[in-house]
Amino acid sequence: MKKILMGALAAAAVLGFASCKDAAPKTAATLAADSLSNAYGEYVGSLMLSDFNRAQEHGDGAKTDFLNGVQMAFNAGEGNRDVQMGLQVGMSMLREVEMLEERENIKIDRTKLIAAFKSSFMQDSMAPEIMANYGAEFNRLLDAAMAARDAEAAAAVKTDDEAAAVEKAQESDNATAGRAFVDAARAADPEIKVTESGLAYKIEKAGEATHPAADADVTVHYVGQKIDGTVFDSSVERGEPDTFNLKQVIPGFSEGIRLVGKGGKVRLYIPGNLGYGERGAGPQIGPDETLIFDVEVIDF
């Protein structure tokens, strides 16, 4: 192993001499500077690699673009401080634009901004009062943009509030109509009872003595309708009973089925708060609507 290593070192020395015989020999200080430069580049490159990979997803060629930016900064620093200053100012402006867009939700046309910047900057000189006017105009337009943004947001909130008020009124109308319907039905039929929860029901056939538990799987036939008689769901029309767990249905339906045993039949008057509530259910069932179900318990 030692002989092989010595041979490799000897070969490297020969190759190094052959490749550098025309170059001036490096001093100890130059070699130290080269080592330090390499070490600095490797260290910072490794740190940036870690940060770069942790950042959000990059597009194709992102590393090349990143390196071009680094190289641009170093090129600007090599004898042309004006370019370096321009880079610093440009990055500062870009950060301010991004802040306005992301934090303040104010859109900036970057192409127009740069064109206006060039127009102003390329003049030979500018009187202080003109600069002051530019500043005042910028602040005036910024205030106006913020005011417009706030007005738009307030209008959106108002629209949402108005829509919520309309929906609330509809909920109130539906709930009122449902209560009136059930009250009239109870007045006409004393066999309609009401539970503590507010569920109105009429047992048409009690069925067996054992009733389903709150978490039972039940098989039932049912017809669901609104108080105007519109049928919105019916296993009877489909010609096949439905099987489901009582924990998976609206509270009034679950409570009502447990009032009878196998073979039992019951009519349920389910108020909105025990049905689909303020949201309703699709286009057929509005917010807080009272629903009527005729149910036959087949099995559980």
| Alpha-carbon distances, residue 229 vs 117, 133, 199, 203, 292 (angstroms) | 71, 72, 19, 20, 9
Phi, psi dihedral angles at 276 (to 5 degrees): -100, 5
CB 196 within 8 A of CB 259: no
pLDDT tens digit string along 217-263? 999 999 999 999 999 999 999 999 999 999 999 999 999 999 999 99
The tens digit of pLDDT for each residue in 283-297 reads 889 888 999 999 999
Q: Is the pLDDT of residue 17 over 50?
A: no
CA distance 178 to 211: 28
CA 213, 215, 221, 226: dihedral to nearest 10 degrees?
100
Torsion of Cα atoms, 279 then 282 then 283 then 288, to 10°: -30
Give the total residue count for the chain: 300
In terms of phi and psi (left: phi > 0; alpha: psi -120 to 50; beta: otherwise), the region of 99 is alpha
